């Protein structure tokens, strides 16, 4: 049985654009044994982008018939430089992944614009913006819990006094539970002497600013944040949050690209890291 030859053919002469250009498309055609391929519209197709040193980013591919396009808008966080790409197609029916081309990469270039050399540019949110966003989300969660608790308390109607003793409602213990548990208010007393016990999930995830320059070294369980432009073995560029579950000889890393809304994961077993897997789900 002959092996199939998988290739990615660039269309036209557009293999470069200027930084801050968000209106250029790089067009390609995926072929198998020289025959252009048309992918179902709901099959995930995306480009993997790298430099000559490391993987830097994933970008969604726009598919129209046999034309597969990469938008410069999706590369806005990359600095000036020379890059290479390959196309990944995931078949939803079989679960198989095809990678084009099957040998080598296709080059493209991001050039400087009239404002000068912007090779240090990273279009991303600041740490303060990220922290403010997290705090806003936590405040919404807490306000919702308080409102629900108040509604539950108001709905409690103590029974009429018995034997000359008035019914009462008092506040009991407030316990902190795991972040994934729902908040609750429970009466641990009686109908005539209610004692309300509160259970409140961990309201804030402690997120440490990553001081390591290599994600391969981050194996202690916890939440971390940093800028991938200065850190090796990250699956994208820009600001990120990293969740780590570390065991004695293995590790799981869940990586969230804050600017692009992308999610990645990988595992380490007995000291060997598996490649990053892009796990973002599209609607």
The domains of the chain are located at 6-111, 127-201, 207-278
**Phi-psi sector, 145: left (phi>0), alpha (psi -120 to 50), beta:** alpha
Least confident of 10-24, 164-178, 210-224, 233-247: 164-178
Cβ neighbours around 225 below 10 Å, total: 18
Tens of pLDDT, residue by residue over 83-93, are: 999 999 988 78
The more confident residue out of 119 and 49 is 49
Is residue 123 predicted with pLDDT exceeding 50?
no
Is residue 106 predicted with pLDDT exceeding 90?
yes
Q: Which residue pairs, CB below 8 angstroms and at least 24 apart, start in 38-46?
A: 38/65, 38/66, 39/63, 39/68, 39/89, 40/92, 42/92, 43/89, 43/90, 43/91, 43/92, 44/88, 44/89, 44/90, 44/92, 44/282, 45/87, 45/88, 45/89, 45/90, 46/87, 46/88, 46/278
The more confident residue out of 138 and 67 is 67
Q: For position 223, what pLDDT does the model report?
A: 85
The more confident residue out of 137 and 178 is 178
The more confident residue out of 183 and 19 is 19
Q: Which residue has tokens 């007995």?
A: 270
Alpha carbons 280 and 261: distance in angstroms, whole number: 8
Phi, psi of 147, rounded to the nearest 5 degrees:
-60, -45
**Mean pLDDT value of segment 243-268:** 85
Confidence of residue 124 (pLDDT cuts 50, 70, 90): very low
Q: Per the confidence metrics, is the pTM higher than 0.85?
A: no
**Mean pLDDT value of segment 134-161:** 58
Least confident of 96-100, 108-112, 154-158, 235-239: 154-158
Question: What percent of the chain is predicted at pLDDT more than 90?
Answer: 24
Tens of pLDDT, residue by residue over 215-249, are: 999 998 888 888 887 788 888 877 888 888 888 78
Question: What CATH number labels 6-111?
Answer: 2.60.40.10
Confidence of residue 56 (pLDDT cuts 50, 70, 90): confident
**Mean pLDDT value of segment 6-12:** 92
Least confident of 76-80, 162-166, 260-264, 275-279: 162-166
The more confident residue out of 280 and 261 is 261
Is residue 118 predicted with pLDDT exceeding 50?
no
Is residue 29 predicted with pLDDT exceeding 60?
yes
Q: For position 7, what pLDDT does the model report?
A: 95
The number of residues making up the chain comes to: 283
Q: Are 194 and 230 in contact (CB under 8 A)?
A: no
């Amino acid at each position: 049985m002959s092996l199939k030859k998988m290739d990615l053919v660039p269309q036209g002469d557009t293999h470069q654009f200027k930084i801050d250009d968000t209106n250029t498309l790089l067009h390609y055609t995926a072929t198998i044994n020289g025959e252009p391929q048309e992918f179902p519209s709901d099959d995930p197709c995306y480009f993997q982008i790298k430099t000559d040193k490391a993987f830097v980013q994933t970008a969604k591919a726009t598919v129209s018939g046999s034309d597969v396009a990469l938008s410069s808008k999706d590369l806005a966080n990359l600095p000036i430089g020379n890059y290479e790409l390959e196309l990944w197609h995931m078949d939803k029916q079989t679960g198989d992944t095809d990678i084009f081309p099957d040998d080598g990469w296709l080059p493209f270039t991001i050039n400087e614009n009239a404002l000068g050399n912007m090779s240090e540019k990273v279009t991303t949110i600041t740490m303060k913006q990220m922290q403010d966003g997290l705090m806003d989300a936590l405040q919404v969660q807490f306000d919702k819990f308080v409102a629900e608790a108040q509604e539950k308390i108001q709905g409690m109607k103590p029974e009429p006094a018995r034997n000359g003793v008035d019914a009462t409602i008092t506040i009991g213990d407030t316990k902190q539970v795991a972040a994934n548990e729902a908040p609750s208010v429970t009466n641990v007393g009686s109908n005539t002497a209610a004692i309300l016990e509160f259970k409140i999930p961990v309201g804030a995830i402690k997120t440490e600013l990553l001081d390591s320059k290599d994600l391969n070294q981050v194996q202690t369980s916890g939440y971390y944040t940093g800028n991938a432009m200065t850190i090796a073995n990250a699956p994208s560029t820009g600001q990120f949050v990293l969740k780590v579950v570390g065991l004695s000889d293995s590790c799981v890393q869940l990586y969230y690209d804050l600017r692009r809304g992308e999610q990645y994961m990988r595992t380490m077993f007995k000291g060997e890291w598996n490649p990053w897997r892009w796990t973002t789900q599209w609607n």
